[in-house]
Structure 1
Amino acid sequence: MTESAQLQTGQRHWVLIACMLAMFMAAIEVTIVATAMPTIIAELGGFSQFGWVFSIYLLTQAVSVPLYGRLADMWGRKKMLFIGTAIFLIGSILCGFAHSMTWLILFRAFQGLGAGAIMPLSSTIVADIYSPRERASVQGWLSSVWGVAAIIGPLTGAWLVEHFSWPVIFWVNLPIGVISMLMLARWLPAHQQDEKPQPLNLAGSAWLMLCVSALLIALLQAELLRYWLLPFVALSLFAGWQLKRHEQRAEAPLFPMIIWRSRLIIAGNAGNLIIGAAMMGISAFLPTWIQGITGGTPLAAGSALAMMSIGWPLASTLSGRLMLHTSYRFTAQLGALLLIAGSALLLLLQTGSSIYQSGLTAFVIGTGMGMTSTTFLVSVQNHADYDIRGICTASIMFSRMIGSAIGTALMGAVLNINLAWRLPHAQDPVQQIMSEETRKALPADTLHQMVQGIAVSLHWVFVVALLIAALSLWVAWLMPRQRPEHAE
């Protein structure tokens, strides 16, 4: 008996709800913490370490995602999800007790190690209990979790900080996580292996962690490290080369060779790498445009960005139905065209553009991302056998994380180069126009010159985002002209 054993309809619905709760817990963590960070800094200090609160969480999460995916294939989804969720909840408790920024960063690293299991394994479990035809529709429900979390996360974080103390934003995870685990313990069958379990590939795991850690540190801290990022890049390349050599002769490789031989799986990972990179063009820089160029409020920036979170699950649900009547390739190509169109709309933003235009742009980009990401994920899950579905699902999410880090570093570099060229004498111009007090204190001519220079610089960032989005059309062409199968 395996975890993919047929469950009664009622049981499957409860398992789906449990997985959605687990995903919601991990999804809301980012937005709810971001809202509370000013309060946390005011109490703990350590503003210079502010970025590491988020970077270390992303780093440990990204490193652990492929490891959990492979272990889930070998030792069972349920067991590994329970282990990851337990680590995440313990990390959440410890974060609430942090008495300095250094301890908070350490506990966030531990929390991230658990978060690496939640997203990929929840999605894998849902793929196990639903047929290939059903997965196309169910993925829309899973994607809606992100939209809900992105909208209510900041509001919940602000309310909790105002009425309670900041540790509550971490402890609110506990009831959600416990309820999810109890539901899975009740309704999800346990994995029973018929053969001797494979040993953990410790050497491969070590090389993978070293490779990914060095790469992400170089990308996420590029501006701080400057030329010192080169040793990290070299270390990442060396560790990646050693990982490749080890995997070729390992008895139980972390990434089975079928992953590298399948055009569809490679295309799915490449597509999510592109989506992750393109997403940063709007997530990181559209709020900067709204607040810095048009003089909008943080609420206006958040409202516009929320439109992407609304478009994503709507398009994800639509793509599930579209795949059943057309093909993987058609659905992915339509999503790619929407992503390209939305990225092109970024270039139409002007200094006098309204919040509605920004929101429409974000919505179109969200629909493109929702349609393409769901198609790539469903096609890979339907193509992968049960014994490698965990690592294949994890690799898809891992690729999106790496893409986000690459996109952030690349577009950040483009912005900084343009600012240094256009505003050579300005000291941190973006920070000056983002601060309401500093903005009002600037002379009118200086403010106009600064806004124009930053606007042109951001337009070049949006050009890069458009070029990245255009690559998604090529990847979509690699998708097969077939529909999700009717049965496994």
Structure 2
Amino acid sequence: MPYIIAPSRPLIAALAPPRSVRGSRHERLPAAAIPVDQMPENSTLRRPFIVAAIMGAMAMIAIEATIVSTAMPQIAGQLGDLHLYSWVFSAFLLAQTAMTVAFGKLADLYGRRPILLIGIAIFLAGSLLCGLAWSMPSLIAFRLIQGVGAGAIQPVALTVVGDMYTVEERAKVQGYLASVWGISSVVGPLAGGLIIQHLSWAWIFWINIPIGILAAVGFVVFLNEDIAREKRSIDVLGAFLFAVSVAALMVALTEVGSSTSVVVSALAVSIATGVLFVVQERRVRDPMMDIALWLRRAIATANLVTLLSGMTVIGLTTFLPMYVQGVLGQSPLVAGFALTAMVLGWPIGATVAAKNFKRFGLRPILLFGAALLPIGASAFLFLGPGMSPLIAGFGSLVMGFGMGFLTNAAIVIVQSSVGWSERGAATSSNIFARNLGSTLGATALGAVFNLSLAHGGGGALPASLDKIQALLEQPGAIAADPQTQTALDHSLNLTFWAMFAVAALTFALALLVPKAQAAAATVRVPETAAAVPEAVPTPEA
């Protein structure tokens, strides 16, 4: 399931208050900015074209998961090495998560446009190579390259939106961005099926190339940043250590239950490089990750809420289809519709949330979304054999609404708490939290499911996962095996209880998110602030 995470300017560039105005009326503002009424008209006219380019770039990432999953059985059949199947997906997420933070920092140092163009170029190179893959290991290697590109595109594209629009202006834009994920989740499987049926599977990846080129042209033509750059060093060693530490952690989480030796080795590498990373960040003058930034209350709490919500959603997308098919005895199509309810609710919730930022405030919107997660998750606690899949669809829809409200408010809270020169790093921290939450959720909830299936309980006997997988491939087969159906029902019910607990914890942590001041982009910059040497786009950009 995609995450909603969220031109040359009207860039409403934010500038942190200087030390000389501490204690003045400017100190309480989350970020000072160029006044909206001083921005040239022609730059405002550019914004729709930049948003269109952002939507094109985001669409490449959004459609990737669904279109590839549809075609993977045929691809694996041709390339072989079926045991590496899951790594085609894990490699992409691993590289994307590991590189997100580094590219967010680079966007703050060198501007948004060059990093976006680099990200698109890397992603398209990976897409081209994926279509030329001759084996499963080569495909996995090229998917890593794709993931690196995605790690640049997603956080920086959302940062541009935060630069261009005030909180009050984001309703339509956030709705457009949210719709990209919703449409992609529907179009992806359809396009994947058509391509596999009529063309070579290579076009599953090559379809990105014209979209990426058009997006890049849009950024080159319309996103014109005039950055006053400072000579600043790049913490290459810090970026490398962080990427290795995160990648090793992702490997360990992915391999839990498969290979103990790999898990232990990967965890050792992750811890060792993580310690070296912390030492490096404390030593250098301009660290890759500003730990103080990550520990600010608004950013730390919003990111923790985002991480837990990611764990909740991955549980729903992973286990709901299995329950609808295996326990309720419905077809894969019905299971897909039950999950699609969340996909539809998410962009609708995001759009409604953005339209009400000014009316209710960011924190109440976040709390409302967080409250909807356990409410929606509670519907799955009462599911049982013979019940209507509409109950599952309703719970899925409510959770989709909740995620739309929560993720939209969280990213705006994070972006509004910093100035222009830190917005890339802050935005990437939120997206990193989402991706890490997905991996942690898949591991933790998967462990609950596997352990309960292996040990039975609640009147259910232990069951073989291999047997369940075989029966799921035959419509109605599990319903004809009451013992297996009971075991699956019991295991998934415990998994849903774990998912509900994570959703409830999400709401509890949301209560700790401080009240945000959202109207930073409309205030005037004091004269003293204008003299602060910072990489800020000029008004005429």
TM-score normalised by length of structure 1:
0.95
* Worse-superposed segment, 471-480 or 169-178: 471-480
Match of 2:203 in 1: 168
Alignment of 1:35-54 (within 5 A): 35-54=70-89
RMSD over equivalenced CA pairs, Å:
1.9
The number of residues matched between the two structures is 483
Match of 2:323 in 1: 289
* Residue 464 (structure 2) pairs with residue 430 (structure 1): no
Equivalent-residue separation in structure 1 for 2:123 and 2:451 (angstroms): 39
Alignment of 1:411-422 (within 5 A): 411-422=445-456
Asked if the contact 2:416–2:520 (Cα under 8 Å) also holds between the matched residues in 1, the reply is no
Gaps of 5+ in 1: none
Evaluate the alpha carbon distance shift between residue 287 and residue 190 of structure 1 in structure 2; reply closer, same or farther with a 3 A threshold: same
* Residue 298 (structure 2) pairs with residue 264 (structure 1): yes
Offset at residue 17 of structure 1 (A): 1.1
Equivalent-residue separation in structure 2 for 1:174 and 1:192 (angstroms): 29
Offset at residue 405 of structure 1 (A): 0.4
Equivalent-residue separation in structure 1 for 2:520 and 2:479 (angstroms): 66
SS state at 1:436 partner: coil
Offset at residue 119 of structure 1 (A): 0.9
Match of 1:34 in 2: 69
Evaluate the alpha carbon distance shift between residue 208 and residue 361 of structure 1 in structure 2; reply closer, same or farther with a 3 A threshold: same
Evaluate the alpha carbon distance shift between residue 184 and residue 428 of structure 1 in structure 2; reply closer, same or farther with a 3 A threshold: same
Asked if the contact 2:373–2:398 (Cα under 8 Å) also holds between the matched residues in 1, the reply is yes
Match of 2:514 in 1: 480
Deviation string for 1:409-440 (max 9, x for gaps)? 00111011101111436362421331207x64
Evaluate the alpha carbon distance shift between residue 427 and residue 35 of structure 1 in structure 2; reply closer, same or farther with a 3 A threshold: closer
Evaluate the alpha carbon distance shift between residue 36 and residue 300 of structure 1 in structure 2; reply closer, same or farther with a 3 A threshold: same
Match of 1:143 in 2: 178
Which is bigger in relative contact order (C-alpha 8 A, separation at least 6)? Answer: 2
Deviation string for 1:186-216 (max 9, x for gaps)? 11113423422x2211111121012101110
Gaps of 5+ in 2: 1-7, 14-38, 523-541
Evaluate the alpha carbon distance shift between residue 253 and residue 87 of structure 1 in structure 2; reply closer, same or farther with a 3 A threshold: same
Equivalent-residue separation in structure 2 for 1:462 and 1:134 (angstroms): 38
Q: Name the aligned partner's letter for residue 339 of structure 2.
A: L
Asked if the contact 2:109–2:229 (Cα under 8 Å) also holds between the matched residues in 1, the reply is no
Offset at residue 257 of structure 1 (A): 4.1
SS state at 2:386 partner: coil
Match of 2:116 in 1: 81
* Residue 172 (structure 2) pairs with residue 156 (structure 1): no
Normalized per residue, which structure has more helix?
Answer: 1
Equivalent-residue separation in structure 2 for 1:433 and 1:452 (angstroms): 14
Equivalent-residue separation in structure 1 for 2:53 and 2:258 (angstroms): 41
Match of 2:428 in 1: 394
Asked if the contact 1:277–1:407 (Cα under 8 Å) also holds between the matched residues in 2, the reply is yes
Match of 2:272 in 1: 238
Asked if the contact 2:168–2:355 (Cα under 8 Å) also holds between the matched residues in 1, the reply is no
Equivalent-residue separation in structure 2 for 1:336 and 1:443 (angstroms): 35
* Worse-superposed segment, 450-459 or 322-331: 322-331
Aligned partner of 2:380 among 318, 341, 346: 346
Equivalent-residue separation in structure 1 for 2:113 and 2:314 (angstroms): 33
Offset at residue 283 of structure 1 (A): 0.7
Match of 2:344 in 1: 310
* Residue 464 (structure 2) pairs with residue 464 (structure 1): no
* Residue 141 (structure 2) pairs with residue 103 (structure 1): no
Match of 2:390 in 1: 356
Match of 2:225 in 1: 190
Evaluate the alpha carbon distance shift between residue 427 and residue 469 of structure 1 in structure 2; reply closer, same or farther with a 3 A threshold: closer
Asked if the contact 2:417–2:516 (Cα under 8 Å) also holds between the matched residues in 1, the reply is no
Deviation string for 1:99-152 (max 9, x for gaps)? 211211111111111111111111111111112332355323212211111111
SS state at 1:8 partner: helix
Match of 2:356 in 1: 322
Aligned partner of 1:115 among 150, 155, 179: 150
Equivalent-residue separation in structure 2 for 1:67 and 1:483 (angstroms): 27
Equivalent-residue separation in structure 1 for 2:291 and 2:482 (angstroms): 57
Offset at residue 472 of structure 1 (A): 1.7
Asked if the contact 1:77–1:191 (Cα under 8 Å) also holds between the matched residues in 2, the reply is no
Aligned partner of 1:276 among 310, 314, 323: 310
* Worse-superposed segment, 218-227 or 420-429: 420-429
* Residue 163 (structure 2) pairs with residue 128 (structure 1): yes
Offset at residue 261 of structure 1 (A): 4.0
Offset at residue 166 of structure 1 (A): 0.7
Offset at residue 227 of structure 1 (A): 5.3
Equivalent-residue separation in structure 2 for 1:306 and 1:325 (angstroms): 30
Aligned partner of 2:212 among 171, 177, 180: 177
In our comparison, the structure showing a higher alpha carbon Rg is: 2
Equivalent-residue separation in structure 2 for 1:40 and 1:431 (angstroms): 20
* Residue 246 (structure 2) pairs with residue 212 (structure 1): yes
Aligned partner of 2:257 among 223, 226, 231: 223
SS state at 1:252 partner: coil
Equivalent-residue separation in structure 1 for 2:423 and 2:276 (angstroms): 25
SS state at 1:351 partner: coil
